[in-house]
């Protein structure tokens, strides 16, 4: 896949020398990268490489120890609340309310972001139709399968039509058909101009990103299109790179 050419508009996500320490542990070390509007960007690395900490800083949930980052034009340290109004966040835990129905979950999240009244009703109908949730609207979220929970979580994360989406291993434990459908929707969102930053352990998904950033022990060690990254390591595919990094981290543990 070919990355979208950067335009004259500023990056949707921009980090400069971003660092996060937890006591003596350096979870993220001097991370510098830029993600362009409309780009599907994969943040990859073995467990413990710093991916989730990076996303939490980008979402304004963790304050950086040093360095800086902006998301949707807002500083993550000084304007955290404004950042959170402009992003959607979805993780493998989904963050759904099991004792609420599909419809109630979507309406709840829409309300949090001020999407109410007639406009809110229209947006909820749009989400239900687009994500194929029509036959499930009265089903309790706790009774849904993984694939349907995934769709519902995506609806909740995008109720306010955020320009930037953070997806932290959103397809973990989901069946292959649901994963394919999910990625079809993700690329539709990107074509509409939304920026998608995703972490995944599925390398077939990584290969569908416009660009990839590989992290290991908190540091950025590779950045580029899937082809560029594999050439950088002298390997044939993204999965080989991932396995190589994982083995290196295990050897140093």
Each domain of the chain, given as residue ranges in start order, spans 1-86+163-253, 95-161
Q: Which fold has domain 1-86+163-253?
A: Rossmann fold (3.40.50)
Predicted TM-score of the model (pTM): 0.90
Map residue 74 onto helix, strand or coil: strand
Cα gap 11→38, rounded to integer Å: 10
> Which secondary structure element, helix H or strand E, spans residue 176, and what is its range?
helix 176-191
Cα gap 104→101, rounded to integer Å: 5
Q: Where are the alpha helices (DSSP H) in 45-101?
A: 51-58, 80-85
pLDDT of the chain, 253 residues: tens digit per residue: 444 444 568 999 999 999 999 999 999 999 999 999 999 999 998 888 899 999 999 999 999 999 999 999 999 999 999 999 999 999 877 789 999 999 999 999 999 999 999 999 999 999 999 999 999 999 999 999 989 999 999 999 999 999 999 999 998 888 899 899 999 999 999 999 999 999 988 888 999 999 999 998 899 999 999 999 888 888 888 888 888 777 776 766 6
Residues ≥6 apart with Cβ < 8 Å to 230? 236, 237, 238, 240, 241
Counts for the chain of helices (H) and strands (E), in that order: 9, 10
Q: HSE (CB half, 13 Å, CA atoms) of 146?
A: 14
């Amino acid at each position: 896949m070919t990355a979208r050419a950067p335009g004259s508009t500023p990056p949707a996500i921009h980090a400069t020398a971003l660092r996060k320490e937890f006591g003596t542990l350096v979870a993220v070390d001097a991370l510098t990268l830029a993600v362009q509007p409309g780009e599907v960007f994969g943040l990859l690395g073995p467990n413990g490489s710093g991916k989730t900490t990076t996303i939490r800083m980008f979402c304004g949930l963790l304050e950086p120890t040093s360095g800086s980052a902006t998301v949707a034009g807002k500083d993550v340290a000084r304007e955290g609340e404004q950042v959170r109004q402009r992003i959607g966040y979805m993780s493998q835990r989904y963050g759904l309310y099991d004792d609420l129905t599909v419809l109630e979950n979507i309406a709840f999240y829409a309300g949090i972001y001020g999407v109410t009244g007639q406009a809110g009703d229209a947006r909820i109908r749009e989400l239900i139709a687009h994500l194929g949730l029509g036959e499930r609207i009265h089903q309790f979220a706790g009774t849904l399968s993984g694939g349907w929970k995934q769709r519902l979580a995506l609806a909740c994360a995008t109720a306010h039509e955020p320009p930037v989406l953070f997806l932290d291993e959103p397809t973990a434990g989901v069946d292959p058909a649901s994963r394919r459908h999910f990625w079809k929707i993700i690329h539709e969102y990107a074509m509409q101009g939304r920026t998608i930053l995703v972490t995944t352990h599925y390398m077939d998904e990584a290969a569908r990103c416009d660009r990839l950033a590989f992290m290991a022990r908190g540091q950025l060690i590779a950045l580029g299109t899937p082809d560029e990254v594999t050439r950088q390591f002298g390997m044939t595919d993204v999965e080989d790179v991932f396995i190589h990094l994982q083995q290196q981290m295990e050897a140093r543990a």
